[in-house]
Structure 1
Amino acid sequence: MEFMFMPFRRYAEFSGRSRRMEYWMWTLFIFVVYLVFVVLGVALGATAILGASQGSSGGTAAGAGGAIIVFALFGIFLLAIFLPSLAVAVRRLHDTDHSGWWILAPMIGSVIQVAGGAMHSQVVALVGGLVGLVIGVLLLVWYFSDGTAGANRFGPDPKGRGGPGGYDQGYGQGYGQQPAQGYGAPQQNSW
Structure 2
Amino acid sequence: MNAIDAIATCYRKSFHKRGRASRSEFWWFALYYLILEVAFELLVQHRTPHTPPSLATGLLAVVVALFAVYSFFPFVSAEVRRLHDVDRSGWWLVASMLMAALSEAALGVDVMSALATHRLRQFVRALMHGGHWGLTFALFATVAINITVFIFLVLPGTPSDNRYGPDPLGAGRAKRGDPRFVGGH
**TM norm. shorter chain > 0.5:** yes
Rg comparison, structure with higher value: 1
Contact 1:116-1:122 at 8 Å conserved across structures: no
Map of 2:12 onto structure 1 = 9
Query: 1:12-161 to 2 correspondence within 5 Å?
Result: 12-43=15-46, 45-46=47-48, 49=50, 52=51, 60=52, 63-106=53-96, 107-108=98-99, 110-111=101-102, 114=105, 122-161=132-171
Aligned-partner Cα distance in 1 for 2:45–2:137:
36
Q: TM-score, normalised by structure 2?
A: 0.71
**2:170 aligned counterpart, secondary structure:** coil
Point out which structure has higher relative CO (alpha carbons under 8 A, 6+ apart).
Answer: 2
Matching residue's letter, 1:137: I
Aligned-partner Cα distance in 1 for 2:169–2:65:
35
TM-superposed CA distance for 1:30, in Å, is: 1.2
Cα distance change on mapping 1:146 and 1:123 into 2, 3 Å? same
Contact 1:113-1:126 at 8 Å conserved across structures: no
Instruction: Give unpaired runs (5+ residues) of structure 1.
Output: 53-59, 162-169, 174-182, 185-191
Contact 1:113-1:124 at 8 Å conserved across structures: no
Instruction: Give unpaired runs (5+ residues) of structure 2.
Output: 114-130, 179-185
Identity %: 24
Cα distance change on mapping 1:31 and 1:108 into 2, 3 Å? closer
Matching residue's letter, 1:151: D
Q: TM-score, normalised by structure 1?
A: 0.69
